[in-house]
């Protein structure tokens, strides 16, 4: 049986792969694996994004938890980082997030935070899978041991308060455009920035259950770019469906990706003597320009596997204060234990105010080297390394680059695709190399 957990929990098409029956079994399993054995009743929080399937999966997951004797606190629609923050604030034993992040509305997912707000290690996910495979072996609670479900309607306001305790930049006179991806940040971010004094114009703030990430948010920046230019905004901020990612648009309408944002924030942290261990953690997909920019200011860069959980693992192991991904996952350990789009947005705005420079100028801290990425949909991700045609295409590409760049292939942890990436200084050559490898992947795996 294939592993259910990917790089970010269990994810799949709602009602097909991710059914209420599966969510119920997962609730039973989580009640066993994530409970505090020293308590009569543990408490597990549940948050969700705006997908139409969220209510269905929330109900089923909660039913499994209470059936096994756990109390549940429903946070409603709230950004993923807000769930991690409230888990600590409310002293819960664990938390679940029902979201498929940047994926289309018809997908959904369930991921967990352990006590303290950290994502689960592989061995705990393995335990959950084993328990799910034999749900009848999990004893059901009876009598007064059955769990209860409680609502926490002030979840968004509490998370906003926690954010403002950390950072409250004065945004008077700033004009900010927002794209909330019709997702979990649609209530929080406009109100939060207005509270700080900004003039805010918003798109992607009318979720209807099926429009999350639909040509909006951090994966589709065109609408925000148009809004920034139309409103003559100082910058634009784009979140994904569950708001654990942040990308930006500068005042000229140009994209500022996660690598640039991390370079800006890391530079500021170093100047404030807040960059513990004098290092940042990035992934294999991060642009070489980020590493070169950090070398200029004496900051060590460590890379790891793609996935914010792996970035966090290396941050914890090395004591690094900052890490992230090009896609906009930014983990700032001073503020949260996971990628936190709202916290990163406040940090960026604080830096802009303190430096008194526009974002177009600040992003000059890093020169982005040309990078070409193609996602190849495949029928089978496993075993691609063994395909001779793919190996030959990679070898030919490396010969063409002649040491002046790099090639990276990796299967997505959440989608049926192989990502083919090449990086260097000659864009035309990179495009040719990636095209040849992508065609070899398509022919070999479909």
> Are the CB atoms for 96 and 59 separated by under 8 Å?
no
- Per residue in 148-162, pLDDT (tens digit) is 999 999 999 999 999
In-domain check, residue 162? no
Q: Residue 382: give the domain boundaries.
A: 371-445
pLDDT > 90 fraction of the chain, expressed in percent and rounded: 87
434 lies in some domain: yes
pLDDT per residue as tens digits for the range 182-204: 999 999 999 999 999 999 999 99
Residue pLDDT, tens place only, 411-442: 887 788 999 999 988 999 999 999 999 999 99
Query: Which residues does 250 contact at the CB level (< 8 Å), separation at least 6?
Result: 228, 235, 256, 358, 359, 360, 363
Residue 18 shares a structural domain with residue 110: yes
Give the pLDDT confidence score for residue 5 in this predicted structure: 83
* Final residue belonging to a domain, choices 220, 243, 266: 243
CATH of the domain at 293: 3.40.120.10
**What is the predicted pLDDT for the residue at 403?**
83
Length of the chain: 446
DSSP state letter for 319: T
pLDDT, position 36:
87
The pLDDT of 323-327, averaged and rounded, is 95
Is 101 part of the annotated catalytic residue set? yes
Quick count: other Cβ atoms within 10 Å of Cβ 208? Answer: 11
Percent of the chain whose predicted confidence (pLDDT) is above 70: 100
Per the domain annotation, does 379 fall within a domain? yes
Query: Which stretch of DSSP H or E encloses residue 218?
Result: none
Residue 2: the pLDDT is 62
Task: Say yes or no: 20 and 149 in one domain.
Answer: yes
Taking only the tens place, the pLDDT of each residue in 370-397 is 989 999 999 988 889 999 999 999 999 9
Interatomic CA distance for residues 187 and 58, integer angstroms? 20
The answer, yes or no, to whether residue 238 has pLDDT greater than 60, is yes
Q: With bands split at pLDDT 50, 70 and 90, how would you rate the model's confidence at 1? A: very low
Annotated catalytic residue within 35, 53, 99, 101: 101
- Per-residue pLDDT at 66 exceeds 70: yes
pLDDT at 438: 95
Helices (H), 333-374: 341-355, 359-362
Task: State whether 318 and 352 are in the same domain.
Answer: yes
The count of domains in the chain is 4
The per-residue pLDDT of the chain, averaged, comes to 95
Cβ neighbours of residue 413 closer than 8 Å, sequence gap 6 or more: 6, 7, 8, 306, 307
Helix, strand and coil in the chain, % to nearest 5 = 40, 25, 35
In a domain, 251, yes or no: no
In a domain, 197, yes or no: yes
């Amino acid at each position: 049986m294939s592993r259910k957990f990917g790089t970010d929990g269990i994810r799949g098409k709602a009602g097909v792969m991710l059914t209420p029956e599966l969510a119920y079994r997962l609730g039973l399993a989580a009640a066993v694996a994530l409970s505090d054995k020293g308590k009569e009743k543990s408490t597990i929080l549940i948050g969700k994004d705006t997908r139409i399937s969220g209510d269905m999966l929330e109900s089923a997951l909660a039913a499994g938890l209470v059936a096994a004797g756990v109390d549940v606190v429903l946070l409603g629609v709230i950004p993923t980082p807000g769930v991690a923050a409230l888990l600590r604030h409310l002293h819960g034993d664990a938390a679940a997030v029902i979201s498929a992040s940047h994926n289309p509305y018809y997908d959904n997912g369930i991921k967990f935070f352990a006590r303290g707000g950290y994502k689960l290690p592989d061995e705990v996910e393995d335990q959950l899978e084993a328990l799910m495979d034999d749900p009848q072996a999990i004893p059901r609670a009876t009598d007064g041991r059955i769990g209860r479900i409680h609502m926490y309607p002030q979840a968004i306001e509490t998370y906003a308060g926690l954010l403002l305790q950390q950072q409250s930049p004065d945004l008077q006179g700033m004009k900010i455009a927002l794209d909330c991806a019709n997702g979990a940040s649609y209530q929080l971010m406009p109100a939060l920035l207005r509270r700080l004094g900004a003039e805010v114009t918003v798109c992607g703030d009318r979720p209807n259950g099926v429009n999350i990430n639909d040509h909006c948010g951090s994966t589709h920046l065109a609408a925000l770019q148009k809004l920034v230019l139309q409103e003559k905004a100082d910058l634009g901020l784009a979140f994904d469906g569950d708001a654990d990612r942040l990308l930006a648009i500068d005042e000229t309408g140009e994209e500022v990706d996660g690598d640039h944002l991390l370079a800006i924030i890391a530079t500021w942290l170093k100047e404030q003597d807040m960059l513990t261990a004098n290092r940042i953690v990035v992934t294999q997909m991060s642009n070489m320009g980020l590493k070169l920019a950090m070398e200029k200011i004496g900051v060590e860069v460590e890379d790891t596997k793609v996935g914010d959980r792996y970035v966090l693992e290396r941050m914890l192991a090395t004591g690094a204060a900052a890490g992230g991904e090009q896609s906009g996952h930014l983990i700032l350990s001073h503020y949260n234990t996971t990628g936190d789009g709202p916290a990163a947005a406040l940090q960026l705005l604080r830096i802009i105010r303190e430096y008194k420079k526009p974002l177009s100028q600040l992003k000059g801290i890093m020169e982005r080297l040309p990078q070409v990425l193609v996602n190849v949909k495949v029928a089978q991700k496993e075993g691609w390394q063994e395909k001779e045609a793919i190996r030959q295409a990679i070898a030919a590409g490396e010969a063409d680059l002649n040491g002046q760049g790099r090639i990276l292939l990796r299967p997505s942890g959440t989608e049926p695709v192989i990502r083919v990436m090449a990086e260097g200084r000659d864009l035309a050559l990179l495009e040719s190399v990636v095209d040849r490898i992508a065609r070899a992947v398509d022919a070999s795996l479909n």
